[in-house]
Structures are given as structure tokens and as C-alpha cells.
Amino acid sequence: MIGVSLRSLLSHKLRLALTTIAVILGVSFVAGTFILTDTINSTFMSIFATANAGVAVTVHGHPIAGTSGGIGGGANHPVPTSLLTTVRAVPGVKDAVGNIFREGATLIGHNGKPIGGNGPPTFGANWITDSDISPYHLRSGTPPEGPNDVVVDAGTAAKNGLVVGGSLPIVFLGGVEEHFTITGIAGYGSSDNLAGATIALFTEATAERVLDGQNKYDSILVSAQSGVTDVVLRERIAMALPSYAEAETGQQAAAAAEQSTESTISTFIGTPLLVFAFISLFVGSFLIINTFNILVAQRTRELALLRALGATRAQVMTSVLVEAAVTGFVASMLGFGVGILIARALLSVFGSTATTGITLLPRTFIVAVLVGTIVTVIAATLPARRATRIAPVAALSESLPETQDLPRRRIALGLVIFVLGCAALVAGLFTSNSVTLQLIGGGFLGVFLGVSLLAPLLVVPVATVIGWPVRRLRGAAGLLAGENARRNPRRTALTAAALMIGLALVTCVAVLTDSVRVSTNNAIEGTLRADFIVFTQGPDFDTQAAGALAKDPKLTDVTEVRVTPVLIRGSSESISAIDPSELGSVLTLSMVSGDASAIGTTNTAIVDSTEAGAAGVHMGQLVTFNFPQGATVRVRIGGIYTANALVSGYIVSIATMQPQVPTARDDVVLANAAPGVSSGQAEAALQHDVHAFPLLMAMSRSQYRTFVGAGLDSFLNLITTLLAFAIIIAVLGIANTLALSVLERTREIGVLRALGMTRSQTRSMVRWESVIISLLGAVLGLAVGLGLGVVVAGSLHDLGITNVAVPGGNLILYALAAGVFGVLAAIIPTIRAARVDILRAIATE
Amino acid sequence: MAETTTAGVSTTASDSRPIAARTTDAVKEYGKGDAMVRALDGITVAFGKGQFSAIMGPSGSGKSTLLHCIAGLDRLTSGSVHIGDIELGSLNDRQLTMLRRERVGFIFQSFNLVPTLSALDNIVLPLTIAGRKPDPAALAEVVRITGLGDRLKHRPNQLSGGQQQRVAAARALASQPEIIFADEPTGNLDSSASTDLLDFLRHAVSALGQTILMVTHDPLAAAHADRVVFLADGRVVSEMLGPTADTVLDVMRHLGD
Ligand SMILES: Nc1ncnc2c1ncn2[C@@H]1O[C@H](COP(=O)(O)OP(=O)(O)OP(=O)(O)O)[C@@H](O)[C@H]1O
Ligand SMILES: [Mg+2]
């Protein structure tokens, strides 16, 4: 029996080719994701290992609450420089050096733009003179010696044409630009830089000055005398340390950094990519089911003959499943290979310089092959079960009855799954609990499965409606296209459903982004009173900028907004501070209770209604703010404002925040045009004022709106690109179904050709069938996507998504695209249909 | 009384009526070298307008091949075929398609009908393909004589084999082609359904002046024709006017196989 199924596999290899492609695409996505993240992880691993090679022990302050995780690990409190003496005095210490390493030194490239842009972070650090300990290895030039010397990492230097002796403007945290001379180029550990991040190295004195490091080190790096192990030395140092500091061995530090990096990468890259890989496989499984269904249908007589000759049901089932397993296995192997290529391509896009090769773990291979094979076999189970139901008598009957009525059981099952999906979705979206994400994911899955099961019911009505103009425009070809699309509703439905999934997800995300866009626009219109908004591409900026604007006679109401993290009831929240006297002239907050001016009283805050609801905070209540700098302040709630997409969280006066966070800088500065000054003049003045601060962006309200919109557009584009795999698979599915249908209808096409149908009419017939299937997918996809999008956007009301918007233009675009997909999918099937040899087709078997 | 001419020499339509289709020295070879089969070995034959002609002969004698070549479904290796005044060898694929569409009707042995279309839609299909509107009167007549009446809205799989063949015949008639080709149209039918179909074809010739060329194995079927042409080994070996089942059977026995 297995021999029979393998032989049949070989004879159908062409028909299976597209199934194989579906599996290959899905598996390659999975494998590519693993390889990508493994490679990035191992890059970091080797960086951390080599960078820490000479470090026996690292000393630093306790972790700053709420900053755990991230690449390289969370931030620690700094330690005073005086601690260096303490550490140096510990017996067994060979040398100890202070290490300053912080974000906030932005290099300005030859084009006047910040290097790195929105990419990897940029760090400033002190040059460490002890070359045993230092992770920095000079490649050319000399270490920094003077106050205006800088050494840059080799990766950044190569990418941006920085050379020894060149001059380099650098903008520091406050947004102030200073000019430096490049004295050297250095590598980090054994690589060019820290996985793409930019590093600028200064003398210790300069680093302390420009990086806010006065008398503080981020850590102290210690080397051991020979004969003293790291572990022993760590223990000795730990004994000597005051309570605010802790010590770990170089290996521990590297391991901790690695672990944190790994989980960060898996959260931000691995998991999202795997979600999209799963979607591709899910869509691919539709294609697999359809292919095997059609193959089983076409082999009905053969299978019936086998049954008549004494094959058991189990043997028939096994024969189909073995075929699936072999197909899945071969395709998975190929998919693994393609995954390697994808990972390579992505790595070069991510611009990872340090990579010498890619990391292939056995796990990747095993998971890829298992997933591909199992998905294929599971998808083939339904067709295999159908194959077992073929009666031996079917071998003898002349024409095969096509059973097309959807069994009630299936309708009921579809309805149940659909309703359960909706319920899970609503539960996930509108209640908060530990399985929210699982509920939402399961909800989407349920909705898609349910609609797919019910879709055959929609085929006839929808195909009739879509088919009508086709019939009018394309005569016989159009008529037959419509009839062909309807003749096997389950096959058409399953084919269209695969496209539905991709389109529904794109539509859902489009609705979401448009809702965010409209809500933000409304918030900008309704909440932002200021004519101008100034913000930075860096973390925050010096109050000097606001000072400069305040001096400009063409501007008025220049208002600083400062943001700082605080711990409130154990969770890290960002609180904003603003000048109460200016609040009313730059922002309009709609108040649920109390008044915005309440923040004029020291230690009084207003909070948005969502946060208040979630935290159970009410008017007049006292809330404890734990500032990371150490102070604890009890703040009274003086007002609650309606949540919106622009302003959220706790707001206090600058006077309340200032004493706790004296170094706080500005996050946003708002301003109005001075009375009598046209907005054009005011804007020109503003742009002129911020020119001295290269990282600052100054915009009018409408420019800001466009800016926010552009960000949303690129988000939508990113998601659409990631869903392209799923959509490509669905389009392949249409091509596959059509190709198999054409094969099945060879005789019919021969008769039509004999009756005078031209080749181009034949092509047209197949092409329009394809378009009808795609449009059916589009109708389902847009409808389901709209539903999902509206529900999901509706659930985000509390996050300030107050408007649910439907992007009509996008939807029309998607429907048109689906039509084009139909035409593309039909290319090969139309060629095959037009090539049908009339004589061979009508010759009786 | 049946007239029979004997073998070998070229045969033409036996009376002076205009010619609907003819072949001259038609040769069709399949394959190459040792595997080469000469399915038609120099056939010169003509079929008159308004005549019901049958082609008979042993299996493998080239009947289907001849029919396909005359109908423009296949090309000769050498020689020529004319339908009316048109020489088919000079036509390209598209022109052949147009010729089939405009001038030719077909009835195959089975699977004639498009399963997704109703009987009526199948009948008018060639017209639909050509983008023509059926002539209502002619259509009504064709439909009437099929005797399908109330079953016109049914799909092919809801019709019996005999009914399906009558729909196929009605389809061939509906476009009022110059000539209808039928390859063993009764091959899958029992004797009563066969008789129905043959009476229908006979009526189309006698009452409507249709030209029909039919390949058959069945002497009873051939007896419905005006004239029978006998093939053996790719050649015309005999022909007969006004055939009856008995005379046809005689010749067939004589041809042996
Ligand atoms: N496509 C082909 N390739 C090779 N040989 C062919 C092909 N078609 C027909 N032949 C051969 O040509 C000869 C004539 O075949 P044809 O089908 O015309 O016979 P027929 O008289 O219709 O027979 P039957 O009564 O069995 O239908 C046969 O020997 C057949 O094997
Ligand atoms: Mg034949």
C-alpha cells in the first residue's frame, strides 16, 4: 500500500509542487526567524564574552526599578567615583577602573543629520586605559587625551566615512552640540562595534562632563592578580562594598547581559516574527487541505479500485497520509534551506556588521522539519478521511456524483467555532486577565476557522453577484467562469478563505491604524491648543532650548513638558510636569472631575480617566510616588481628565517634580505665535531657534499631524509586508486550485474548444474564475477584517482611541489588489487550459 | 435496392447535389519510423449537402481520424480537406476555431455537455460562445423536436444518457451549421434511446435540410443514413446508397476483421 501511495506521489508531483511551495514558505519563515534571532543572540554573546574577557569582577549599584531587561541588561544605579579606592584596596585586585557608559551622545554625520537615526542606540563612554580590562581595542590612531578628543567605533566610522583627524560634531543629552576631533578608531571586543550601536569614547574627564557622570561611575571593572580566581575576588570585594553596591564576576555579568539580551530579542523580534510565520503556515494548511481534497477527488476511481481489490479503509487513509508526510518532510527540508537565505537577507537588512556567519542550531532544523511535516499531515487528515469514505462501487460507476450540499453538522460546527471565537476575542479585548493575548489569538483563529467552515454557503450568492458583470462583459467565458466558481462551493470557499485570512488581518490593522490616526488627529485638534510643538529624536533635551524660544519675540506661551519615571504602587509610570499657569494656553484637557488648574497647588496631580479607573484612583485620594532618585512624595489627586490619544497619565506642576528630579530635562516644548505675528513668521523664527539643537524637531500642529500619520503608515506597511507571505501563499493556493480544476475539466474544455471556443476565450474563462475566487476572498476578508478591526479598535477606547475609523481608500485598494491577485494566480492555469489538446481531451478514456 | 461500388478507386458523391465537405488524397500518419501508423492512407471522398452520411469500418480503420480531420479538429499529413469552399490546411488555429464555431456542429459519444449549464444553456452554448443571439423560432423548433420540453432547465446529470445525447444533437442543430459531425453518437445508448436519437437526426436532415456525417459501428444506425462509406486500413473500400441494416451487415462481414 505504501508503495502505491509513493508511486502516486511521484506521478502527481507536479500537482503537489504548489503544496510544497506553501509548506516551504511557511517553514522558511519559521526557520528564518529562529536563525535570525539565534544569530543576533550569538553575536551579542560573543561580544559580551570578549568584552568581558579581561574583567574578573564588575561592581555597580543596585538595579534601577522598572528598567530591567533590554539589550545588555537593565540600568543600575551609578556608584560614586570614591568607591574606586575601596575596590582597589581589596587584596587580589590587580587593577580597577571606572566605567562610564551611557546613552546620549549623538554623532552628527557629514550630512548634518544624526548618525544612526532611529536605529540602534548611540552610547558615550570613557576610554579605559588599562588595556587588559578595556573592551575597546584601538584599530588606528591614538586614545583620546585632550578635552576635545574622541575615539569612535570602527563600525560607525566605516559606515559614515569618519577618519582619524576628522572633526565630528556631537550632541549630548541636553541637545547641545560640541565639536570634537577624531583621534582614533576602536573595535568593541573582537567586533567592529556593539552589534550596530554607535560608541563615542572620551577621556574620563570629558565623559564625566558631557555624559552627566560627575563623580559617578556606571560600574567599576576589576582585574585579578594571578592566582586569585574571579569567584574568590568577587567574594572579597562584595565584603568590602557598602550596601548600595554589588559585585558580580565578569562571567556573571556577561551571562546576565546575554540573558536579558536574549529575552529582549525574542520579545521584540522573535515572537512577532513567529506570529507571522504561524499565520503563513495556517494559510498554507488551507492550500494543503485543498490540494489533497482535489487529489483524492481525482483519484476516487483509483482508490475505489483499491478498496474493491480488498484494501481496508485504514490502508487508504494511510496511503494518503504517507503521501502527505513525505510531501511535508521534503518541503520542510527545502523550507529550512530557504529559511537560511531569508535569515541572511534579513541580517543584511538589519545591518548587523559583526556577523561572520549565521547560527544554525539543531533545534531550528528539528522544529522546522517537525512543524512542516506535522502541519501537512494534519491538514491532509480531512481529505484522507474523505478518501476512506469512497465506496468500492465508485470504481464501477460511470460519472461521479458531486455531493455539494454542506452537511448540517458542518454548518453547526462552523457557527459554534465562529461564536466561540467572537466570545474569546471579546473576552480578551474587554477584560484584563493573564491570558488576554491567548484569548485574542484564539479569538482570531476561531473567527477565521468559523468563517472558513461557513464560507461554502456564501459561495453561490457572492459568486452570482460578482459573476453578473463578468457574464455581461465576457459572454460565454464569463458565464462559464461564474458557473465554474460555483460548481464546487467547498473548493472555492477554501481557496478564497486562505486569501481572506491575509486580507482580513491587513484590513484589521488598517482599521486600527486609521482609528489611531483619526483619534490622534482629534486629540491634536481638541487637546493641543499650542500652534507649535518641539520634540527631540533623542531621549530628552536641555532646558536651554525652551529658554531660547522664550526669548524669541515672535513666540509666546513657551511651555516645557518634562517626563520622568516614578514607581506608583510597584509599577513604573511616566509622570509629566508642566507649568500650571501656561497649561490652559497650550492644552485643552476635558475634565471628568476637578479642574486642571488644581496642579497649581504643590504635590497635586491630575490623572486621566483610564489610569484612574485601572488604578482605582479617585478625586482627593493620596497617591505615593516613589522617585527613582530616592524620594517618596505623597500626591493628592486634584482632577481627572478624559483619556485621549495625545496626553495621558499623571500630570503635576514643574514645581512638584523639580525638587525630586533637579536634572529633569524637557520632553516636549509647546509654544504659540506671539500676538500679531503670522504663523508663517512665527514658524520661521521657531525653526531658526531650534537650528542650534540638531536633534530637535519643531512642527506646526498640521505638520505634527502629518508626522504622526507617516509613522502610522510605516507601521501599516511593515505589517502588510509581514503578511505578504500569507497572501502569497493564498495566491499560490488559487493558482493550485485552478490548475487542478483545469486538469479535472480537460474533457470539458476540449468539448468547448471543439464547439468553437477560442484559446483566448478559454483563457478568459479560467482567468475570470480566478478573479471571482479572489474577489470572494476579498469580500470575506474585508468583511471579517472590518469586523475585527472595529471590535479591536473599539476595545482601545480607554487608551485614547476614541474614534473608530474605516479607511475606505485602503479597502478599495485591497479589493482591487485581490482582483489583480486573481489575474496573477491564473497565469499558469490559463496557459494550461489554452493548451488543452482537443482530440486528446474528447477521446474516450 | 442498395447500390454498391467496390473498393479502391476514388469515390465521389453519387449524385449531382452540391458538396458540403470533401477530402482529396487525405493521408494521416501518427508517430515516426517503425512506430509509424498510417491512419488515413489516401482518402478521396465527398459528402453532399442535405445528406445523412455514415462512415463504417472495422476498429482502427481510421473512421474517427477521418472525421476529426474533416471537422478541423486535426490536421492531415498530406492531401486536402474542404468544408464548402474552404480548404482547411491553410487555416491557422484561430481560423479553424472560427470555422468550427460558424459552420460545424458536433455530437460526441459521451460527455458532450458542460455539467454546470442547464440543458437549454448547453443547447445555445455554441451561439453564446460566438456571441450570437439564437433565432427564437429556430430554437423553438429544435427544442420542440428534442421532445425535452419541461427538462430544459435541468442540469446534464439530472438527464438520462439518451436525453443527454438529444440535448447534444439539439445543440449541434441550434447554430444551424453547414455540417454536423457525430462520432458514434449512439455508442453509449440502448436500442430504444438509439432509435430516438437517430430518428431525431433523420428528421433534421429530411425536414430541415441539415447535413450530417456520422461514424458508427452499428448497422441499424447506419441504416438511418442516406449513404454509407466503408473504410478499412485507412482507405475507402466500398460505399452504399440507401442502406438497410442487412445490406450494411453484409458488407461489414465481407470486410471481415
Ligand atoms: N493519437 C494517435 N497516435 C497514434 N496512433 C493513433 C492515434 N490516433 C489514432 N491512431 C491510430 O490510427 C488508427 C486509426 O484510428 P481511429 O481512431 O481513426 O480508428 P477508428 O476507426 O475510429 O476505430 P474505432 O472504431 O475503434 O473507434 C488506429 O490504428 C489507431 O491506433
Ligand atoms: Mg473511433
Which tens digits make up the pLDDT trace of A290-303?
888 887 777 777 77
Does any domain span residue B39?
no
Q: Which residues line ligand 1 (CB under 6 A)?
A: B 30-31, 37, 39, 57, 59-65
Is the model more confident about B121 or about B16? B121
User: Cα of B12 to ligand 1 centre, how many Å?
Assistant: 24
Contact of B91 with chain A, judged by CB distance below 8 Å, is answered with: no
What number is the average pLDDT over the span A809-829?
92
Is B246 in CB contact (< 8 Å) with chain A?
A: no
Whether residue A719 is predicted with pLDDT greater than 70 in this model: the reply is: yes
* Mean pLDDT, residues A56-73 taken together: 71
- Contact indicator for A578, A559 with CB cutoff of 8 Å: yes
Rounded distance from Cα B69 to ligand 1 centre (Å): 12
Residue A830: the pLDDT is: 92
Q: Using CA atoms, how far apart are residues A607 and A362, in angstroms rounded to an integer?
A: 51
The answer to whether A327 touches A376, Cβ cutoff 8 Å, is yes
Return mean pLDDT, chain B. Answer: 85
d(CA B170, CA B182): 12
B87 belongs to a structural domain? no
SS3 A500: helix
The answer for residues whose C-beta is within 8 angstroms of residue A390's C-beta and 6 or more apart is A296, A300, A303, A304, A307, A316
ipTM over 0.85: no
Q: Is the pLDDT of residue B170 over 60?
A: yes
Residues 386-415 of A with CB under 8 A from B: 399, 401-402
Residues whose Cβ atom is located within 5 A of ion ligand 2: B 64
The confidence score (pLDDT) of residue B234 equals 92
Segment among B6-15, B16-25, B170-179 with least mean pLDDT: B6-15
Taking CB atoms and an 8 Å limit, are A752 and B128 in contact across chains? no
**Chain position carrying cell 583620546:** A144
**Cβ contact A176:A544 at 8 Å:** yes
The verdict on a CB contact (< 8 Å) between B130 and A756 is: yes
pLDDT of residue B53: 94
Domain boundaries, chain A: 459-526+701-845, 539-694
- Considering all CA atoms of chain B, what is the largest pairwise distance in Å, rounded to the nearest integer? 55
The two beta strands, B212-215 and B179-183, are parallel
Whether B187 contacts B109, CB under 8 Å: yes
Which one, of A292, A317, A453, lies nearest residue A390 by Cα? A317
Q: Is A744 helix (H, G, I), strand (E, B) or coil?
A: helix
Query: For residue A393, is pLDDT > 90?
Result: no
Give the pLDDT of residue A449.
Answer: 93
Could you give the CA distance from residue A693 to residue A542 in angstroms, rounded to a whole number? 9
Portion 478-537 of A in contact with B at CB < 8 A: 479-480, 483-484, 486-487
Distance from CA of B16 to the nearest CA of A (A): 30
- Per-residue pLDDT band at B12 (split at 50, 70, 90): very low
Average pLDDT taken over every residue of chain A: 84
Cα separation, B90 vs A570, in Å, equals 91
* CATH number of the domain residue B151 falls in: 3.40.50.300
Distances in Å between the Cα of A339 and the Cα atoms of A42, A188, A330, A344 are 18, 30, 14, 9
Q: Does B77 touch chain A (CB under 8 A)?
A: no
Kindly tell me the sign of the dihedral angle through the C-alpha atoms of A406, A407, A411, A417.
negative
Q: Angle, nearest 10°, between helix axes A489-527 and A701-744? A: 180
Please check the confidence at residue A802 and state whether its pLDDT lies above 60: yes
> For residue range B124-165, what is the model confidence (pLDDT) as tens digits?
888 888 888 888 888 888 888 777 778 888 888 888 888 888
- B34-65, pLDDT tens digit by residue? 888 899 999 999 999 999 999 999 999 999 99
Residue A763 has pLDDT above 90, yes or no: yes
Work out the percent of chain A whose per-residue pLDDT is above 70: 92
| pLDDT score at A149 | 92
The residue-averaged pLDDT of B209-221 equals 92
Tell me if B35 is assigned to some domain.
no
> What single letter denotes the amino acid at residue B14?
S
Q: What is the pLDDT of residue A74?
A: 61
What is the pLDDT at residue B2? 44
The answer to whether B131 faces chain A, any CB pair under 8 Å, is yes
CA-CA distance, B144 to B147, in Å (whole number)?
Answer: 5
Contacts for A308-313: CB closer than 8 Å, 24+ residues apart: A308/A392, A308/A393, A308/A395, A308/A396, A311/A1, A313/A388
Up-side HSE of residue A672: CA atoms within 13 Å toward CB? 14
- On the question of pLDDT at A76 being above 80, the answer is no
Q: Specify the residue for cell string 490548475.
A: A739
Using a CB-CB distance cutoff of 8 angstroms, which residues of chain A are in contact with residue B125?
Answer: 476, 752, 755
In the predicted model, is pLDDT for residue B214 greater than 90?
yes
Q: Which of B55, B56, B61 to mutate to test the pocket of ligand 1 (most atoms within 8 A of CB)?
A: B61
Residue B158 cell numbers, joined? 439530472
Q: What is the rounded distance in angstroms from the CA atom of residue A65 to the CA atom of residue A231?
A: 27
The pLDDT of residue A68 is: 57
- Write down the pLDDT at residue B73: 85
Burial-class residue A198 by CB neighbours within 10 Å (0-12, 13-18, 19+): buried
The reply to whether B148 falls in a domain is: yes
Look at residue B10 and tell me whether its pLDDT is greater than 60.
Answer: no
Is B58 inside any structural domain? Answer: yes
Strands A604-608 and A668-673: unpaired
The larger pLDDT score, comparing residue A825 to residue A287, is at A825
Residue B192 pLDDT > 90 = no
Is residue B115, in this structure, part of any structural domain at all? yes
Query: Is 90 exceeded by the pLDDT of residue A151?
Result: yes
Ramachandran class of A522: left when φ > 0, alpha when ψ lies in -120 to 50, beta otherwise? alpha
Instruction: Give the Å distance between the CA of B6 and the centre of ligand 1.
Output: 24
Q: Which amino acid is at A785?
A: G
Domain assignment of residue B139, given as a range: 3-9+50-68+95-256
Three-class SS state of A822: helix
Contacts of residue A160, Cβ cutoff 8 Å, sequence gap at least 6: A107, A109, A110, A115
Among A495, A578, A536, which Cα is nearest to A699's? A536
d(Cα A695, Cα A108) in Å, to the nearest integer? 9
Give domain status of residue B76, yes or no.
no
Stated pTM of the model: 0.79
DSSP A282-313: HHHHHHHHHHHHHHHHHTHHHHHHHHHTT--H
Cβ within 8 Å of residue A229, ≥6 positions away: none
pLDDT class for A9, splitting at 50, 70, 90? low
When pLDDT is averaged across residues A534-554 and rounded to a whole number, the result is: 82
From B74's Cα to the closest Cα of chain A, the distance in A is 7
Confidence of residue A663 (pLDDT cuts 50, 70, 90): confident
The alpha carbon of B205 and the centre of ligand 1 are apart by a number of angstroms equal to 28
- Location of C-alpha cell 514658524: A683
Binary contact (B108, A751; C-beta < 8 A): yes
pLDDT grade for A406, boundaries at 50, 70 and 90: low
Q: Is the pLDDT of residue A137 over 90?
A: no
